[in-house]
Amino acid sequence: MIERQLWHPVVAAMHLRDEPVAVTLLGQDVVLWREHGHDGHAGVVHAWADRCPHRGARLSLGRVLHHLHGARLECPYHGWQFAGDTAATQGHHGAPVPVGRCVHVPAAPTFEPPPAHCAQVFDAQEHHGLVWVRLERPDLTQVPASLAQPPGFEPWQDPLWRQLICGPYEVQTSAPRLVENFLDLSHFGFVHEGWLGARTHAQVDTGKVDEGAEGVRAHECKAWQPKGYAGAEEGGWVVYRYDVPHPFAAILRKDATEGDPVSNAIALFIRPDGDDRCTAWFAMATLGDLSDDEELRAFQDTVFAQDRPVVESQQPKRLPLGKDGPIAEVHGPADRMSSAYRRYLVRTGISLGVC
Ligand code: FES
Ligand code: CO
């Protein structure tokens, strides 16, 4: 399964603090935990299989310890302690141990656990305000180099822009269905009437769509919106750019124009929990928007609440890629981005959330 070799967002970085957090990624139960930071910096994050190698209890029910020899995760059942990055030593000899190794068995304090007494450890890193995890190292003959890292999102690093995370939104559908919804301009006038569109102005222009190994790009996409720009009294046409740099991520950008001083970039990042459920965040970056963070979040929450019942109603929950058969879907001229996205999933060899 190729998606095990890709980075996926698993939790907002700000929501991973002193307590372990349990998530499901691609059907795998994962425990996330964070070491204590120093000097105002957040500590290192860890992602392990959420299963103690001793008797299979959930490590996420345990707690994070800050021991003399570094950070450890303690199992809730028999209190075995497993080493974090800075728990570099074990037992009385002070030998270095790898991350995930059991370093203390309270019922037998002089026992030195052998290498097999180890949690299953995954790669983890922080990026764009989220923690990202991959379950396997990539085979670069199968995975494009552009997917060896989490997708780029430059406005997140720009000190002139304001950044915030919206979500998590837990959704009972597949990650590909949610990406397609994000790329779809022609639902604005119906699902988001009065907010992002109007049924009296339902026509859209899908612009120019480019497809390559690195994903899908579309520019000059136009939709009519009831407020053409922040502070506008009247509706107007808005021009967007879309970028799909990862099978389960999409970025929308709207640049400031003469009459509209606001630039926005919104990245949809999705954790594929399983074939028919996922968890999403929006990483938003904005320049020139005068509303505060809570107002921006409330707007995104409202728009998402409008999308939710419709995307959760779509059958099948997995995206049908087949051209024939009982679950084939038909396409209209405004679905060019969706068709390009489906071809990208086929090219990348994605099997999760598609049929
Ligand atoms: Fe984890 Fe026994 S099951 S310590
Ligand atoms: Co929508």
Q: Which residues keep their CB under 5 angstroms from ion ligand 2?
A: 307
Atom number, ligand 1, closest to the C-alpha of residue 56 = 3
d(CA 83, ligand 1 centre) in Å: 14
What is the whole-number distance in angstroms between the Cα of residue 263 and the centre of ligand 2? Answer: 19
Question: CA-to-CA distance for 123 and 121, rounded, in angstroms?
Answer: 7
Give the whole-number percent of the chain exceeding pLDDT 70.
96
CATH number belonging to the domain at 2-126, selected among 3.40.50.300, 3.90.800.10, 2.102.10.10, 3.40.190.10 = 2.102.10.10
Query: How far from 153 is each of 81, 149, 157, 233, 337, CA to CA, in Å?
Result: 37, 12, 8, 31, 20
Report residue 305: phi and psi, to 5°: -65, -25
Average pLDDT (29-49) is 91
Q: Where are the domains of the chain?
A: 2-126, 153-348
Residue 283 and residue 267 in contact, taking contact as beta carbons nearer than 8 Å = yes
Dump pLDDT digits (tens) for 10-25: 999 999 999 999 999 9
**pLDDT tens track for 240-289:** 999 999 999 999 999 988 888 889 999 999 999 999 999 999 999 999 88
Percentage of the chain modeled with pLDDT above 90:
84
The pTM (predicted TM-score) of the whole model is 0.95
Mean per-residue pLDDT, 183-207: 95
Confidence band (pLDDT; 50, 70, 90) for 323?
A: confident
Is 7 in contact with 133 (CB distance < 8 Å)?
yes
Average pLDDT of 200-221? 94
Nearest CA, atom 4, ligand 1: 78
CATH number given to 153-348: 3.90.380.10
Q: Bigger pLDDT: 228 or 215?
A: 215
Could you tell me where the beta strands, DSSP code E, fall in the chain?
A: 8-12, 21-25, 28-34, 45-49, 63-67, 70-74, 81-83, 89-90, 95-96, 102-104, 121-127, 130-134, 162-171, 208-212, 215-225, 236-246, 249-254, 263-274, 277-287
Shared fold status for 2-126 and 153-348? no
Instruction: Evaluate whether 5 touches 138 at the Cβ level (below 8 Å).
Output: yes
Question: 80 CB under 6 A from ligand 1?
Answer: yes
Query: What pLDDT, on the 0 to 100 scale, is given for residue 40?
Result: 76
Do 35 and 44 contact (CB within 8 A), yes or no?
Answer: yes
Q: What is the pLDDT of residues 54-104, one digit of tens each?
A: 999 999 999 999 887 789 999 999 999 999 986 556 555 667 789 999 999
278-297 per-residue burial string, b: 16 or more CB within 10 A, e: under 16: bbbbbbbbbbebeeeeeebb
In sequence order, which ranges of 73-210 are alpha helices (DSSP H)?
175-183, 188-191
d(CA 25, CA 132): 11
